[in-house]
Amino acid sequence: MSTDQPRQPGGHPTGGRYAGHSRDAPAESLAAPAWPALEWEEHTWVPAAQQGVRADRDTGNVRYRAAIMPPIAGLDPRPSAEALAAADDASRALTAFDAELGARVNNFAPVLLRSEAASSSQIENLTASARAIFSAELGAKTGRNAEQIAANTRSMQAAIDLSREITPEAIRQMHAVLMAGQPRHAPGEWRTEAVWIGTRTDTPVGAEYVAPHHTRIEAGIDDLAEFAGRTDVPALVAVALAHAQFETIHPFTDGNGRTGRALAQSMLRHYGVTRSVAVPVSAGLLADVNGYHQALTAYRAGDIDPIVLSFANASLRAVANARQLVEDIDQIRAGWDERFSARRDSNAWKLLDILTHRPVLDAASAARELGVKAPNIYPPLKALTEAKIVQSKAEHQLGPFYRSDEVLTAIDDFAARAGRREAR
């Protein structure tokens, strides 16, 4: 972590090149708008192991540069006509897809939410199969990655639940849910140490990017929340810029990327772009992760077009991919109707609908979904197993799990498509 005293006071001018962004600025100053680039200030690097009265002498007074993020709550973002049109097209596509699901939203909202969480996690190199993720949600020990992706699903759901108002406390809660069980990363608490992006983990000196000093976080997040509450900025433009500003602030010691993409989902719901489902925009970003990271770098240099275009293109890719997933699951469900024979009043038919969005079940979760007592769930589960619609496997100390390999494959195929770069 760094010492608390910057060499330079920092601060952001209200005139000069910043004046063109103020909503209260004179018309003539708006002729050549430009988004403010980061400024920088120096700090002394003191490793945690060397803190104390001899710290400055022991470290040789090593200096590093940390970012100063500009406040954005009062700025007028002016993306290019191309970026603005792309954002508008993407917003319409997201809204149309959300509406298309209609009465079937209960069947698809859960699987799309998990797909978004898995894709967001994959951007951070956390990967697991759909089977491992769904099994982890039931308590199976399928691997650390699957457990973290399951936690990300809960964080995404929290983000949507908290979308009525974007506040600093809501952001903290998203992170608290994501990082529950990882106390060394202080779930839901702003960091009190330096964080950076670079090849070295032991020092920020020479890092590619060092986030703002922790004393700037609270004011920065307050400003971000104020920007997120505005109604005069096109929705997807606001989402992209708020996300980029959040990643610039990097307010937590870990989980910033996943929390920032959960924030994006919260804002999409807040603005009414989506009303029922979490369209997996992160799956669209996966197709060009390098471009996404470069767009964040461009944002910090004062160019907002790349991040707006990145979110717009990601949204369009996500809608196309999600439509394919819905079509695949619909075909699987129709195939079950042809293959399965049982009394029409059997609970097994209801379980078929549940399996389309919960492709891994145990007896307890299946009983909860159907609203029946646990002993009554075994006959329909047995019928589906005998029809080879589900496969049963005993999990260590947890009893049998029942899974639909067909639906799990469709979800894994979605993830594979998300990670493929389109040919140009």
Tens of pLDDT along 359-376?
A: 999 999 999 999 999 899
| Alpha-carbon distances, residue 176 vs 11, 162, 172, 246, 362 (angstroms) | 30, 13, 6, 16, 28
**Rounded Cα gap, residues 229 and 235, in angstroms:** 11
**Rounded Cα gap, residues 417 and 248, in angstroms:** 29
Grade residue 239 by pLDDT with cuts at 50, 70 and 90.
very high
User: Do the strands 360-362 and 399-403 form a parallel or antiparallel pair, or are they unpaired?
Assistant: antiparallel
Is residue 117 predicted with pLDDT exceeding 90?
Answer: yes
* CATH code reported for the domain at 81-322: 1.10.3290.10
Percent of the chain whose pLDDT exceeds 70? 88
In this chain, the answer to whether the domains covering 81-322 and 325-412 adopt an identical fold is: no
Could you state, in order of their start, the residue ranges of all structural domains in the chain?
81-322, 325-412
Instruction: Give tens-digit pLDDT for 1-46.
Output: 433 333 333 333 323 222 333 344 444 444 445 799 999 999 998 8
The mean of the pLDDT values for the chain is 88
**Rounded Cα gap, residues 237 and 304, in angstroms:** 9
**Rounded Cα gap, residues 368 and 391, in angstroms:** 20
Instruction: Give tens-digit pLDDT for 265-313.
Output: 999 999 999 999 999 999 999 999 999 999 999 999 999 999 999 999 9
User: What pLDDT, on the 0 to 100 scale, is given for residue 352?
Assistant: 96
DSSP 374: G
DSSP 377: G
Grade residue 384 by pLDDT with cuts at 50, 70 and 90.
very high
Does domain 325-412 sit in CATH 1.10.10.10?
yes
Stretch 62-79: mean pLDDT, rounded? 95
Instruction: Give tens-digit pLDDT for 34-64.
Output: 799 999 999 998 876 555 444 444 445 689 9
86 touches 386 (CB < 8 A) = no
User: What pLDDT, on the 0 to 100 scale, is given for residue 50?
Assistant: 54
| Alpha-carbon distances, residue 103 vs 38, 98, 175, 407 (angstroms) | 46, 11, 31, 20
User: What pLDDT, on the 0 to 100 scale, is given for residue 48?
Assistant: 61
User: What pLDDT, on the 0 to 100 scale, is given for residue 43?
Assistant: 94
181 touches 37 (CB < 8 A) = no
By residue count, the chain amounts to: 424
